[in-house]
Every structure is written in structure tokens, then in C-alpha cells.
Structure 1
Amino acid sequence: MPELPEMEHYRSQLSPLLCGQRITGVTVNRAKTINEPIEAFESALRGRTILFVERKGKHLLFHLDDGHRLHLHLMLGGWLAYGEQGPKKDSHFQVILRFGDGNSLFFGGLRLGYLHRITAKAALEEMKELGPDPFDSRLTLEAFGKRLSGKKGKLKTTLTDQRFLAGIGNCYSDEICFDAKLHPAAAASSLDSASVERLYNSIRKVLVEAKEVGGYMEHPLTPDDTLTGGYNDQCRVYDRKDEPCLVCGTPIKFETLTGRKMFYCPNCQKDS
């Protein structure tokens, strides 16, 4: 599932391409992807202009000139493409937005994900349960420590709880724990002050590193996009079961924790 680095990468790439663009055509190939009848959805979007693109955790909000938002959640397997034509036949995409300059935005893989047209008030309501963004200036080390001290679950479970912090999922929770030298199954509230500080710094470090190299998405956004997916080969523990740890050589261990994949180095991540 795309996480904060992937969605921020999409936002930063799409903003200069879409801001000020007028939607001239809309195609919906899967009714379940949207939240109103196809005809109403297409009619409401046709002629609208995208003002700007905002990220909230793992969500993107496309702000329209009539005050509405297009709320995108890619969920598991969703991806985007942009250009004069898509990398696959149009019928492979659940929704396509066409613009006056001849380019289109293609929404693919939205079997679980969705693209909903909602009001500004509804957007606030849907986002109100999200925790702070990891890069929120108000999330100081002290504020982070207070939030963490009240959590009763395991560290990985806490990091992936969108009400605790918005945007971290399976991949980056494991990468963050490895960078902080903390076991992902450690009790979140049991960490000492030094461990909390390492975790706080690792969250920002890992997410910035991943964002700067395009995250781990496999589909390029545009035909000339060579950045997207650059983090795939930089994961230090995630999806590396039985491969040697890049620090100590110990085989990476794979387990499940509350139904989630969990990868870690049993030698480097002893701290709990």
C-alpha cells in the first residue's frame, strides 16, 4: 500500500502538472470506485479546474474551483499515470480525467481504493481521525514522547495506527524500527527516553530518504519518470526475508504481528 513517501511524491509531481488545469473529459469504468452515479460524477467534474493538490497522510485531496474535493485513497494496489495516453488500454483504468492540454490522469488498481467527490466540510470530517503528520512542526520530540507514552500496543502496531501518526504503513514502520535499532514488537510505552529520541529522529530520516528517491511504487507517473520506485532497492529489512542484514550479516527474520508483515534483524534490533 502506498504510504507517506509515495503519496507525497505523487503530490509533488502532480502539482505543477495539474494546478490550473481544466477538466474537459471524465471516464469512469468502475462504478464502485466513485461515490455517486457515473453520469452525475462525470457531469459534476466536467469543466471544473484543479486549484491545488494536498496530501493528508496516505490520502490525496484534489481541490476544485467549485469548493469540492476529489478524495483519493489508493489502498492496496492503486497507482497513477499521467500523459497523453496511459501505459495500458483505457479500459484497464477505473477512472480517467482528461485535460485541455491533451494530457490525462489515469487512476489504476483501484479495486479496494476509491476516488470520491466530496464537499470541503466532508473532507474535514473524513480526515479528523488522522493523527498528526510526521513533519508537522508542532510534533516536537516532547509532543511525540507524550503521544507514545499513552499507547498500549506494540511499536509496529502503534506506528501503523493512522490515529497516532498519519502516513506510515507496513514498509516504513519496519524500516524506521531498523534505523532506530528497536524491535518492532517492543511495547511502545516501555521505551526509555534515548529510544524515544532515536525513534523520533528515524521516522523523519527514513521518510525523507524514501521521499527523495521516489518511494517504492513500481509504476512511473509519466513516460519520462525515472525517479518513482527508487526506494525499492534501498529497503534494509522490508521484504528481505532470510537475506543478510546490511549491517551485521544476520539473516532478516519475517513474522506476522496482528496480521501485518514484520521484517527485522534479530541481532541489530534487540532493544525493547
Structure 2
Amino acid sequence: MPELPEMENYRLLLKNKIEGKEITDVFVNREKSINVQSTIFEDKTRQQRICAIHRRAKQLLFYLDNGHVLLLHLMLGGWMFYGKEEDKPDRTIQIHLSFGEEHLYFIGLRLGYLHLFEEKEVETKLQDLGPEPLDINFSLNAFQDLVSNKRGRIKTTLVDQSFLSGIGNCYSDEICFHAKILPTRNMNDLAYNEIIQLYHSIRQVLQQATQYGGYMDYPLYKGDRKTGGVEPFLNVYDREGENCKRCGSKITKEEVSSRKCFYCKGCQK
């Protein structure tokens, strides 16, 4: 499932492609991927300009000039492609928005969705999300306050969207590796210096992953060489049985609260 870096990468790339452009046409091929009747969805989005594209947690918000917002959550298996019809992937497309001769295709939205809301409805929809870990106001003091009475395993806590928004399976493991802390430990067992290190690791890992375009398998557009570029920089995620790049020990995989979890017993304590 795409996490904060993948969705932030999409946001930055799409900002240069479609922000300020008018949606010239709309096609809904799967009603279950939207939250209103397709005729209403099309009527409210067609001939509307994309005023801004924001990200909140793992979701993108496309603000239209009529006051409506398209809320995208790709969930597991969802992805996007932007380009001309002849360049589009040979995949089933659930929704696509046209911008003249170019189109934004939404693919793999079996669990994901593109919902239409009024702006105040979106605020209510997202109100239970925790702080954004890369927000300028998310300080070390704010993080210390957040974890002060937190219990439960570190892995489970990091992927809890009401605790921090945008972190999932991949980057929770990478963050713990960077901090040299086992993700199977409990939050309330962390020493003061470990809390400080965890905070800095959260920000550094997410910033680096965004810089390299996240781990999505498919380019966003023809000639896109950024999307998916972080894969060579991943240290533990999906590397079970491989040698640790830092200490040479074997990477371990186990399940933590029904989630796969990768770590190195050799250098994570």
C-alpha cells in the first residue's frame, strides 16, 4: 500500500502536470470506486479546474474551483498513470479524468477510491488522523508529548494512523532500522535517548524516501525516472534472509499484530 513518501511523490509530480488545468471530461468505469452516482460525480467534476493538490497522510486531495474536493486513497494495489491514450498501461481503468489530449488514469481501485466531497466534509472525514510527521510544526517536543503515555509495540504504534499519519509497513521497519531499535519492543520501554533517535529517524527516513520517489512499481508518466527510486535504499523491508547492509547478519521476518515486520537482530537492539 502506498505510504506518505509515495503519495507525496505523486503530489509533487501531479502538481506540475495538472494543477491549474481544467478537467475536460470524466469517465467512471466502476461505480464502487466513487461515493455518489456516476452522473453526479461527472457533473460536479467536468469543466472544473484543479486549484490545488494537497496530501494528508496516505491520501491526496484534489481541490476543484467549485468548492468540491476529490479525495483519493489508493489502498492496496492502486496506482495512477498520466499521459496520452496511446501511452496508457494495458490495465483495467476504474476512473479517468481528461485534460484535453492527456488523461489521469486511476488503476487498481478495487479497495481504493476517489470520493467527491464538499470541503467541510473532507475536514470531518480526516479529523481522526494523527500529526503529519514531516510537518514543520511536528517538533521533538511534540513527539515526546505524543509518546509519553503510549504503550504497545513500536511497529504497531508507528502504523497507527491516529498516532502519526502516513507511515505503513515499509517505512515503520525502515525507521526502526535507522534508529537501531527492534520494532517488536514496547513504546514505554524506550529510553530518553532512544525516543530522540526515533523522532529523527522518522523524519530522515520519510524525507529520503520522498526524495527518491518512494517504492511504487510503475512510473507515473512516460519518461518518469523518479517514481520507485527508493527501492535500492531500503535496508530491511522485504529482504528476509538477506545480509544486513550494516552488520552482515541475516534479516528476520515475523508477524507483529498480523503485519509483516522485517528487522536485523544483529544491530537493532
CA distance in 1, matches of 2:233, 2:22: 38
Query: SS at the partner of 2:67?
Result: coil
Q: Name the residue aligned to 1:193.
A: 192
CA distance in 2, matches of 1:55, 1:203: 18
- TM-score normalized by the length of structure 1: 0.96
- CA shift, 1:137, in A, is 2.3
Q: Name the residue aligned to 2:49.
A: 49
- CA shift, 1:25, in A, is 0.8
- Give yes or no for the alignment of 1:38 onto 2:38: yes
CA distance in 1, matches of 2:221, 2:69: 23
Query: Counterparts of 1:181-260 in structure 2 under 5 Å?
Result: 181-260=180-259
Q: Which runs of 5+ in 1 are unaligned?
A: none
- TM-score normalized by the length of structure 2: 0.97
Two-structure CA RMSD over aligned residues (Å): 1.0
CA distance in 1, matches of 2:212, 2:145: 31
| 134-143 or 156-165, which deviates more | 134-143
| 1:261 counterpart letter in structure 2 | K
- CA shift, 1:88, in A, is 2.3
CA distance in 2, matches of 1:166, 1:120: 20
CA distance in 1, matches of 2:149, 2:113: 33
CA distance in 2, matches of 1:152, 1:215: 29
8 Å contact kept, 1:9–1:214: yes
Percent identity over paired residues: 49
Q: Name the residue aligned to 2:88.
A: 87
Q: Which runs of 5+ in 2 are unaligned?
A: none
CA distance in 1, matches of 2:180, 2:12: 31
| 2:109 counterpart letter in structure 1 | L
Q: Name the residue aligned to 1:150.
A: 149
- CA shift, 1:234, in A, is 1.5
CA distance in 2, matches of 1:262, 1:47: 45
- CA shift, 1:138, in A, is 2.2
CA distance in 2, matches of 1:123, 1:106: 22
Q: Name the residue aligned to 1:164.
A: 163
Query: SS at the partner of 2:244?
Result: coil
Q: Name the residue aligned to 1:26.
A: 26
CA distance in 2, matches of 1:181, 1:6: 24
8 Å contact kept, 1:240–1:263: yes
| 107-116 or 35-44, which deviates more | 35-44
8 Å contact kept, 1:18–1:52: no
Q: Name the residue aligned to 1:268.
A: 267
- CA shift, 1:170, in A, is 0.2
Deviations 1:22-66 (A, max 9, x none): 111111111100001112211221111110100001010000000
CA distance in 2, matches of 1:16, 1:227: 14
